[in-house]
Structures are given as structure tokens and as C-alpha cells.
Amino acid sequence: MNLLSAAIIINAILLTTIIILERKRPEKTIAWLLLIVIFPPLGLILYLFLGRNWKRHKLNEEFSPIVKDLINRVINRIDKEDYKYLAELLANNSDSPLFVDNDIEIFSNGEEKFNALFKEIERAEHHIHLEYYIVKSDDIGNRLKDLLIKKSKEGVRVRFIMDRVGAIKLSRRYIKDLRENGVDVVQYSYFLAPLLRRINTQINYRNHRKIVVIDGKVGFIGGMNIGDEYRGLGKIGEWKDLHIKVTGDFVLGLQGVFIDDYMAVKRIDDGEFFMEGEFDKYFPPSEKSKGKIMQLVKSGPNSEHPAIMQGIVKMIYMAKKKIYITTPYFVPTESVMDALKIAKLSGVDVKILFPGKYDHFLVYHASKTYLEELVRCGVDVYFYNKKAFVHSKVMTIDDSICTIGTANMDIRSFELNYEVNAVIYDKDTTLKVNDLFKKDLEESRRVDLEYFNSEPKYIKIIDGVCRIFSELL
């Protein structure tokens, strides 16, 4: 036995021991072991980058005591019987009160979202807080940069959290320009990030949140990052997405998420240091709005409870008539799959809208196997017209409750990324979302068993191989 062979064997034994001791789910453990056995050197490299938690900073998956105190000083709680059990779940697994007085505006494309965002930034008087996964120095990105610099020079405090992986292609000059003009740019990072700046890696534990808070009064949350592709001007073409603007006390929750994340990355332990004695500026009493009830759900890789996934499972089990889902990626946990199957077999109308074109090869092909499984159970699956990419992350239940946010319907969002979703207990908002869903179905193709059965053998093999490693995607 030569030295190389011995090294490979030792490597395999050590990695196998580590993986087993980490006590991951059996499916994930088996997938990693299989990868190591088939590709020993590659398995080591992939595990170091994808399997280990190399986070430099840990974001809070629950509200910190500081932020809980800040929110509770100005928030009212309400007992709503219709939502009691879901609301109780989210209160316990995500520390979220019911935010009871909100107004919501829905944006179904990038132009609408960015126009509204820039308009609100222009109105900012005290602070602008932004947190995004992807930021690009293209046309829309530069317009945002110029506007933030302008507001900073006017005396508005601008803080910008970016994920270092998501913003890996962002020019150094972009960040330098912001910082030189008073914008506080902080980057959520991971071990070895500086060495891998030029490599478009798929490192785990990413800050996938996309939120904006302006003066503590206006908030934005949804699926769109900062880049021209979200306006349909990127390589992938037309872009279908959903984002919302909120005014009301739900904004206090978004503010809490931002402040917790900001303090975690900056390693600030004292909330009063951040507040600088201006509590009322960051957490102003909300003005009377239209009374829409909302909850905020956030989770991350170290959460005691996978709050977003649990909320989705609970909502599915609550459905009596219909469940509509739009997601760009569909690699669900077993609990989500079982819940959807049970709902369909119980007579609930379950419809899923999925992209007809893809931006991630492995995830797309793995997703198809799960969708085929649901089709065999009677679920209606639609592939959107290949002229556009569907990126919305939405689920509606019985025309009465919906969830919109940053989390995809996949294991990565449920377990590996830092995410945040809004749960909206409002019939009017849910009906508007459903109207958009039905309109998209008109541009979509319903796929049946014949579609899957008629696919070439090599496609089925690709789908199957991708599914094997779906736990690692």
C-alpha cells in the first residue's frame, strides 16, 4: 500500500467518524458517506466546505433578550381564536408575538419593488437598515448605492448587512464608496471567505434574509435581492417574484431581526450602545393602520426548533380546502412531504407552481423527483412558462392565511440558511396572492404522470443521482 492509498483510507475513517458523531439525519449521513466512498479526495474537500460549520459569526435565530424587551415595550398582544394554535407555535418556536395592526402592499416584479423601495428611502429622516443576501454593482445596485450615499450625506444613518458569499461578485470599489461616505457596511462571513472571494462557492450557513427597515416605520421583506436580474434584465431573462412592503407594528419585528443580526456580526453585546439613547427613533409607536395581523418567523442552522419548517407543516395540516405553493426549489423534508400527501389524500386541493427553467442544475433535477412523488399522490404540479424564472417563496391556505418571505421550500432554507418569513392572517391579502397565483397558472403547464414516465432514461438517472445528494444541496 503506497502513501497516497493509506492517506485516503485514513481520511475516510476520520471523516466517517466525525460525520457519525455529529448525529446528522440518517439520510444526510448516508449521503456524505457515499460521497466519500465514491470520491475520496473530492469527498474531503466538499465536506470541508459544505458539511462543516465554519461560521465566523453566529446570527441569532431567536430574538435576543435585548430585542425582545425592546419589542415588548411597544407591542400589543392579542388572542385570536381562529389562529390560536399556529400563533402559539410561532410564539414558542420563533419568539414572535402577534403584530396586530399592519398594512401590506404586494409587489409581483422587480420594477414595482425597487420603485417603492427607492421612494421610501428618499423619505427617510433618521435611519435606513438594509440586509440582503445578494448585492450586485449593476444598474439597480449602483442606483441604490448613490441613493444611500445621498441620504447619508443628509445625516440619515445608513447600515447595510450583506452576506459575503451572496455579494462575492460585488466590487471592492462599491463597498469602499459606501464606507467613505458614512454608510456602515458589515458583512456576514464564514471561515476562509477572504481566500475564496473569486470562487462562486455554495458554502453553507448563509445569511439569506432580505429585509429593509426605514425609520422604524416602513419595512420590506420577500424574495428579491439587489440586482438587475430581479428586474428581468439578467442572463436568465424574465423574473417572477414576490415582495411586500409593510407599515405597522410588524416593522418592529423586522427591526428586531436587523438589530440582532447587526449586533451579532459587529459583536456588540449592549443594545443601548446601538440605540445611542434614541429608542423612540428605532422603535417608534406604530401609527394606526388597517389592522392586518402578522407574525414574524426566523430560523437558522443552530435553531433549537426549525421554526419556518414547523410553521409550514402546521399550516398545511390546518388546511381544509386548498393549499397553493410557489417555490423556485423543492427539496422538502420528510415532514413537509408527508403533510402535503396527507392533505391531498384528505381531499384538500394542493397545487404547486415550479419554474419551467432552472438556475441550479442539481437542485432542479432533485426537485423533479419530489414533485413526481406528489403527482403520483394526486397533487397538481405546474411548470411555469420557460420564458421566465419563478423565484417567489409563497404558500397560501384556504384563502385566509399566507406566508411570504425569504425561505424556499427546501432543506437548505429550513436547516442551513438564516431566513425570515412573514405569516399573514388576512383574507384580503391572501386572496390577492391567490389571484397572482392563478394568473401565473394561465402561463404554466400542468405536468402529469405521463410527462414523468415519458422522460428519457438518462434524465431519470440524472434526477435520481441528484436526489441521492439532495440532503447536501
Long-range contacts of 465-469 (CB under 8 A, 24+ apart): 465/365, 466/361, 466/362, 466/363, 466/365, 466/366, 466/369, 467/365, 467/366, 467/369, 467/370, 468/31, 468/34, 469/31, 469/35, 469/362, 469/366
The cell for 199 is 470562487
Question: Which residues have a catalytic role annotated?
Answer: 208, 210, 215, 391, 393, 398
Dihedral of the alpha carbons of 63, 24, 338, 408, in degrees to the nearest 10? 50
> What pTM does this model have?
0.84
Cell 460521497 -> residue: 35
Q: What are the pLDDT tens digits along the chain (473 aa)?
A: 565 565 555 555 655 565 555 555 555 555 655 665 665 666 555 555 555 554 444 555 555 565 555 555 544 555 556 778 898 898 888 888 888 889 999 999 999 999 999 999 999 999 999 999 999 999 999 999 999 999 999 999 999 999 988 888 898 999 999 999 999 999 887 544 444 444 434 456 789 999 999 999 999 999 999 999 999 998 888 999 999 999 999 999 999 999 989 988 887 655 555 666 788 899 898 776 778 999 999 988 877 789 999 999 999 999 999 999 999 999 999 999 999 999 999 999 999 999 999 888 889 999 999 999 999 999 999 999 988 999 999 999 999 999 999 999 998 898 889 999 999 999 999 999 999 999 999 999 999 999 999 999 999 999 988 887 776 55
